[in-house]
Amino acid sequence: MNTVEYKINELFETIQGEGAFTGQPSIFIRLQGCPVACSWCDTKHTWEIELEDKVTKEQIIAKTQETSQWASFSPEQILSLFKVQGFKAKHIVITGGEPCMVDLTPLCQTLEKAGYSCQIETSGTFDVRTTKDCWVTVSPKVNMRGGYEILASAMKRANEIKHPVATEQHVDDLKSLLAKHKVTNTPVYLQPISQKQRATELAIATCIENNWRLSVQVHKYIGIE
């Protein structure tokens, strides 16, 4: 029995809308806490870990809107919850917040042993601690307000690079990062920030020029979580 617990902001079943697993039925585990402070973040309610926001597991399960509330779950409790909720998906997406602030190995071991595949979505600013079979999506956040650097270890561990773009500077930042860490064979996805037309056009042109791939946040276009 694992004694480790994770601070969960929400847990739900949906369709993965980004990156290599776009279209995959998935169970999302959203962890609380992130110091990176991306200006365009759409989950700012997960940034702070406040004790007054700690609630019961039942309250997290019953959530119907975004809040900063969180509850502690062990890996076994998370697995049991999947069965109670009747979730059918076999792919797990661990996100945040910044999930790599904590060691995700016990959680992924428990889930993989039960027949699930695991994916982590991280900013690349913390060491990625997980199982060898876990798919790691690094969405590198360069020069964010939190002041965190992208780690070489995270870039090396990445199975895919998913980069938000709105301007040419974002593209230049990514190219510099890939060159710095000698990333050559990892699939690169460009994701237009906020689905704006100009950002989308830039992403499409850049993908064609560099033989990269486009990630358009399908879940936002079709109006699901």
Q: What is the largest CA-CA distance in the chain?
A: 51
Lowest-confidence segment of 57-66, 134-143, 194-203 by average pLDDT:
194-203
> Is residue 30 marked as binding?
yes
> Is residue 42 marked as binding?
yes
Residue 150: DSSP 8-state = P
> Is residue 68 marked as binding?
no
> Is residue 141 marked as binding?
yes
Residue 180 covered by a domain: no
Give the chain's length: 225
Domain count, the chain: 1
What letter represents residue 81's amino acid?
L
Residue 24 covered by a domain: yes
Range of the domain at 94: 6-162
> Is residue 77 marked as binding?
no
Which CATH number is 102's domain given? 3.20.20.70
The pLDDT score that the predictor gives to residue 42 is 81
Nearest to 135 by CA among 159, 157, 116: 159
pTM: 0.92
> Is residue 118 marked as binding?
no
Q: Is the pLDDT of residue 219 over 60?
A: no
> Is residue 43 marked as binding?
yes
What letter represents residue 80's amino acid?
S
34/98 Cα distance (integer angstroms): 5
177/197 Cα distance (integer angstroms): 25
> Is residue 23 marked as binding?
no
The pLDDT score that the predictor gives to residue 225 is 57
> Is residue 95 marked as binding?
yes
What SS3 state is found at 209? Answer: helix
At 90-117, the pLDDT tens digits run: 999 999 999 999 999 999 999 999 999 9
